[in-house]
Amino acid sequence: MSLQRTLILVKPDGVRRQLVGEVIRRIETKGYNISELKMIQPDRELLAKHYAEHEGKPFYEPLLEFMLSGKVVAIIAEGHRVIEGFRKLAGTTDPTVAEPGTIRGDLACDQGTKVVQNIVHGSDSPESAEREIAIWFN
């Protein structure tokens, strides 16, 4: 059985609301292992690398502004099909329609801000996970 690795971020809204422990609890309860974890205040350079594919889009600057607004907890989680599993655990991007039982469905709501503040980020593919882990855990 091959293990995958994924990057999970608890975004500034999740850190501010003291939901880091709850996010970790859900990751571990699902059966995934946390192999690395750190809390950092990201700078613009790091975030520009992470969100490079969105540069030039209307939401790019508000997204960077939001992600610069506070500390972020970066997590490497490991497990069989962890990328797919965590994305299901996180719920859909829009917290208003995210299913109950998911992180976003239970813990986030639309704040009417320029970008959706939805507690967590999870890599969307093995390639993204590799790239994102290298950015956050050089």
Given 50, 54, 80, 121, which residue is catalytic?
121
- Give the C-alpha separation, 90 to 30, whole Å: 12
Q: Is 121 a known active-site residue? A: yes
- Residue 116: name the closest of 59, 43, 49, 53 by CA: 59
- Give strand pairing partners of 38: 74
- Give the C-alpha separation, 103 to 87, whole Å: 10
- Give the C-alpha separation, 66 to 138, whole Å: 23
Please identify every residue annotated as catalytic: 121
